[in-house]
């Protein structure tokens, strides 16, 4: 079967800095795939190349069989790719409801309203706070809003960048339980995480990045016991 996402030999630079070098990876429909690696390894850069916020210097990105390496970012959203960015980046001075409606900017019609209410069912705390300014939400609530906003475009592929960043352990567990539920409901996920153990436990496969290059990859259940991963990323 054709992978939903296929990155081939991707390189991305910021000026003279080679942030990602010759990276290849695939995500199959229905999978959760994790990217782990130290700070600056190129994880966020990879996600931003997939969501078309960055232009690669070489290599290709294919989504659902189509070459999207050069499509504009809003076209990528229309095709079914949504990103929940690192640091959440909710619109602080807009309400929860406005943030959700903005997440559906590529869509229109009554289905958008229905989907907003669906998000309130999935994330009851957002429903209770629908008129609250997003900037006054707690960190965990903002993370939920960032995920819900991404879901408003009805993505086939959800890119999650550091969903656990800066959150208390109990909230992190809640966010990961949401990630598992979303996947069980059919959303394919590419996840970037500092918390390697948690991410590997929640994913089917893992790619390890070092200094912009993929060093190894495999089934998360196997890699979680791999000496190289234990030593470098799991404090083992
Ligand atoms: P982190 O976990 O710290 O977010 P990361 O693995 O996501 O790290 P990236 O954010 O992809 O790493 O960064 C990869 C490299 O590119 C780093 O060396 C970083 O300093 C550099 N970089 C990232 N963004 C820019 C930018 N806008 N301009 C210049 N260099 C950048």
Residue 236: its pLDDT value, please?
Answer: 60
Q: How far is the CA of 102 from the centre of ligand 1 (A)?
A: 27
CB 192 within 8 A of CB 84: no
- Mutational test site, ligand 1, from 14, 207, 233, max ligand atoms within 8 Å of CB: 14
Residue 173: its pLDDT value, please?
Answer: 92
Helix, strand or coil, per DSSP, at residue 178: helix
Task: Determine whether the shortest distance from the Cβ of 213 to ligand 1 is under 6 A.
Answer: no
**For the chain, what percent of residues have pLDDT higher than 70?**
99
What are the beta bridge partners of residue 6? Answer: 26, 62
The span from the CA of 69 to the CA of 166, in Å, is 32
pLDDT digits (tens, 9 = 90+) for 150-165: 999 999 999 999 999 9
pLDDT digits (tens, 9 = 90+) for 10-51: 999 999 999 999 999 999 999 999 999 988 999 999 999 999
Spell out the residues 6+ positions from residue 67 whose beta carbon is closer than 8 angstroms to its own: 60, 61
> What are the residue ranges of helices labelled H in 87-195?
96-103, 110-122, 124-128, 139-151, 169-184
Task: Determine whether the shortest distance from the Cβ of 43 to ligand 1 is under 6 A.
Answer: yes
Domains of the chain (ranges, CATH numbers): 5-88+145-232 (3.40.50.300)
Name which residue sits closest to atom 28 of ligand 1, judged by CA: 14
Region of residue 162 (left: phi > 0; alpha: psi -120 to 50; beta: else):
left
pTM: 0.93
Task: Determine whether the shortest distance from the Cβ of 44 to ligand 1 is under 6 A.
Answer: yes
Task: Determine whether the shortest distance from the Cβ of 85 to ligand 1 is under 6 A.
Answer: no
Spell out the residues 6+ positions from residue 211 whose beta carbon is closer than 8 angstroms to its own: 21, 40, 41, 42
Instruction: Give the number of the atom of ligand 1 that is nearest the alpha carbon of residue 46.
Output: 11
Q: How far is the CA of 185 from the centre of ligand 1 (A)?
A: 32
């Amino acid at each position: 079967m054709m992978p939903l996402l296929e990155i081939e030999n991707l390189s991305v630079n910021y000026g003279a800095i080679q942030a990602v070098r010759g990276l290849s990876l695939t995500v199959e429909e229905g999978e959760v795939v994790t990217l782990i690696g130290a700070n600056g390894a190129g994880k966020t850069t990879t996600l931003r190349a997939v969501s078309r916020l960055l232009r690669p210097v070489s290599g290709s990105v294919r989504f659902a069989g189509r070459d999207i390496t050069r499509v504009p970012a809003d076209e990528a959203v229309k095709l079914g790719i949504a990103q929940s960015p690192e640091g959440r980046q909710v619109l602080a001075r807009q309400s929860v409801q406005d943030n959700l409606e903005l997440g559906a900017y590529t869509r229109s019609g009554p289905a958008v309203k229905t989907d907003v209410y669906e998000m309130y069912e999935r994330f009851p705390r957002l429903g209770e706070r629908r008129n609250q300014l997003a900037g006054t939400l707690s960190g965990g609530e903002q993370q939920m809003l960032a995920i819900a906003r991404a879901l408003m475009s009805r993505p086939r592929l959800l890119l999650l960048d550091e969903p656990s960043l800066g959150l208390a352990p109990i909230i992190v567990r809640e966010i990961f339980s949401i990630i598992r539920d979303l996947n069980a409901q059919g959303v394919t996920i590419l996840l970037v995480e500092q918390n390697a153990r948690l991410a590997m436990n929640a994913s089917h496969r893992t790619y390890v990045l070092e200094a912009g290059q993929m060093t190894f990859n495999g089934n998360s259940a196997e890699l979680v016991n791999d000496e190289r991963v234990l030593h470098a990323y799991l404090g083992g």
